[in-house]
């Protein structure tokens, strides 16, 4: 077996061993930590200079014989005493306990305190040894953070309540009253992306009591866009009071009320009304748009859907814009009319491919034998499946009329 040479301690290490008391004194004088030793009655036997400085003593030995009751308020002193007596009774240490220090003549402070039982070499319990570090700044910061988080939770609660209130208002307001017109089936679907949305559809009353409709899309989503739908609901109702059978004038009137009231945004819209029913059951649908140029007509005779491009028109809410000139479309018994906001055609699958107009046409053609309301809801379900996501990418509104 290989022998290891024994290293004899040099003079310096022997000197250090002989000066253990002096080393202890140096530690207590120079450390920045608040170190102390107490007897079984929680009286200070030794204390670091940092602890003495904190209590306003020039000499650390001035603390000897004192207790926490001489230094703190009764509240803190009693808690510290009880903790120390429990340590003496059980022999269990307290590690990094954050303690609140209350003073008679200064602001409250906090320390991280560690206390352990102190035994003599004989094994006899002599008292406790402790060390504490000031954590006032950290504790105050944590309290401020906790207060901030609490305020945030309260604000979120208020926001959620506001969302729920807005949702209830919109659910009543959109579409509002749906008229019952003989020989015309009306179907609609309104699905906001979140709890509330910027799409709107309604059927404003008018002096001639004709079937007048408006469908709009406010730029943006959520509560802000939803607030503007309230404005548009009011403006369409106001404009309908003087409706003159010209949907272009109607849209331009709404545009006049919207312009200057929507910050950094715009509104698209489509409006129209049905003329009186002719002897052969046909009706004319007179339309004008402000950004909703394409609509669909299902022709029952041909069992095909026709894509209609309306005359050019510009969005609402921007100075100098105007709706398209009016266009009349003739519908016969069994024909259907479809209009929708862009959320349906622009919904994308995970590969980024949009559902698109051609898929809309294909699906509505196959669904022509179904009730028109069922056709709209099935189309919406198809789009949801296509996106492979439970979350909508935009507000979706669908409108359909069928002549019977």
User: What confidence tens digit (pLDDT) does each residue in 336-359 have?
Assistant: 999 999 999 999 999 999 999 999
SS3 content of the chain, % helix, strand, coil (to 5): 35, 25, 35
Q: Are residues 128 and 154 in the same domain?
A: no
Q: Kindly report the backbone phi and psi dihedral angles of residue 200, in degrees, each rounded to the nearest multiple of 5, phi listed first.
A: -145, 145
* Predicted pLDDT of residue 338: 98
Q: Are residues 113 and 45 in the same domain?
A: yes
Tokens of 205: 């009353």
* Assigned domain for 3 exists: no
Q: Are residues 350 and 217 in the same domain?
A: yes
Q: Is the pLDDT of residue 11 over 80?
A: no
Contact 386, 378 (CB under 8 A): no
Domain residues for the domain of 362 are 174-403
Tokens of 277: 């029913």
Burial of 161 (0-12, 13-18, 19+ CB in 10 A): exposed
Q: 55-59, 145-149, 214-218: which has the minimum mean pLDDT? A: 145-149
* Assigned domain for 1 exists: no
Q: Are residues 98 and 232 in the same domain?
A: no
At which of 173, 198, 225 does a domain end?
A: 173
Q: Are residues 208 and 328 in the same domain?
A: yes
Q: Are residues 19 and 145 in the same domain?
A: no
User: How would you classify the pairing of strands 294-299 and 336-340?
Assistant: antiparallel
Q: Are residues 153 and 112 in the same domain?
A: no
* Predicted pLDDT of residue 368: 96
What is the total count of domains within the chain? 3
Element housing 130 (H / E): strand 125-134
Q: For residue 274, name the pLDDT band (cuts at 50, 70, 90).
A: very high
Q: For residue 10, name the pLDDT band (cuts at 50, 70, 90).
A: low
Q: Is the pLDDT of residue 155 over 60?
A: yes
* Predicted pLDDT of residue 13: 53
User: How would you classify the pairing of strands 199-202 and 125-134?
Assistant: unpaired
Q: Measuring CA to CA, which residue among 104, 95, 110 is closest to residue 140?
A: 110
Question: Which pTM value belongs to this model?
Answer: 0.66
Q: Is the pLDDT of residue 402 over 80?
A: yes
Element housing 94 (H / E): strand 94-101
* Assigned domain for 45 exists: yes
At which of 147, 173, 199 does a domain end?
A: 173
Burial of 163 (0-12, 13-18, 19+ CB in 10 A): middle
* Assigned domain for 35 exists: yes
* Predicted pLDDT of residue 169: 82
* Predicted pLDDT of residue 87: 92
């Amino acid at each position: 077996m290989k022998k290891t040479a024994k290293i004899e301690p040099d003079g310096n290490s022997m000197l250090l061993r002989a000066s253990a008391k002096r080393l202890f004194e140096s530690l207590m004088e120079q450390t920045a930590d608040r170190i102390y030793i107490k007897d079984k009655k929680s009286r200070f036997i030794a204390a670091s200079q940092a602890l003495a400085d904190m209590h306003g003593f020039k000499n650390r030995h001035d603390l000897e014989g004192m207790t926490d009751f001489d230094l703190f308020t009764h509240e803190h002193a009693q808690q510290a005493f009880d903790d120390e007596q429990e340590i003496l009774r059980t022999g269990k240490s307290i590690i990094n306990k954050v303690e609140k220090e209350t003073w008679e003549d200064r602001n409250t402070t906090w320390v991280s305190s560690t206390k352990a039982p102190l035994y003599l070499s004989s094994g006899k319990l002599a008292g406790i040894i402790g060390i504490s570090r000031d954590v006032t700044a950290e504790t105050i910061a944590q309290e401020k953070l906790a207060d901030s988080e609490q305020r945030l939770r309260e604000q979120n609660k208020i926001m959620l309540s506001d969302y729920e209130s807005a949702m209830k208002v919109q659910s009543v307001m959109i579409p509002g009253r749906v008229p019952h017109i003989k020989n015309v089936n009306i179907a609609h679907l309104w699905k906001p992306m979140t709890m509330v949305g910027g799409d709107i559809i309604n059927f404003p009353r008018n002096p001639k009591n004709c079937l007048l409709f408006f469908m709009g899309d406010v730029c943006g989503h959520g509560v802000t866009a939803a607030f503007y739908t309230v404005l548009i609901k009011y403006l369409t109702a106001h404009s309908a009071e003087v409706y003159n059978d010209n949907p272009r004038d109607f849209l331009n009137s709404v545009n006049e009320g919207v312009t200057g009231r929507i910050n950094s945004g715009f509104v698209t819209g489509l409006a129209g009304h049905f003329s009186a029913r002719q002897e052969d059951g046909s009706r004319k649908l007179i339309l004008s748009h402000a950004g909703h140029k394409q609509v669909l007509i299902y022709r029952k005779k041909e069992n095909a859907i026709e894509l209609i491009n309306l005359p050019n028109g510009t969005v609402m809410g921007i100075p100098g814009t105007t709706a398209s000139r009016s266009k009349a479309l003739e519908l016969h018994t069994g024909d259907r009319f479809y209009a929708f906001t862009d959320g349906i055609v622009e919904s994308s699958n995970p590969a980024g491919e949009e559902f698109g107009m051609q898929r809309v046409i294909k699906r509505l053609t196959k669904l022509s034998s179904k009730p028109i309301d069922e056709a709209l809801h099935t189309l919406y379900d198809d789009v949801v499946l296509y996106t492979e996501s439970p979350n909508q990418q935009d507000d979706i509104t669908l409108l359909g009329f069928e002549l019977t």
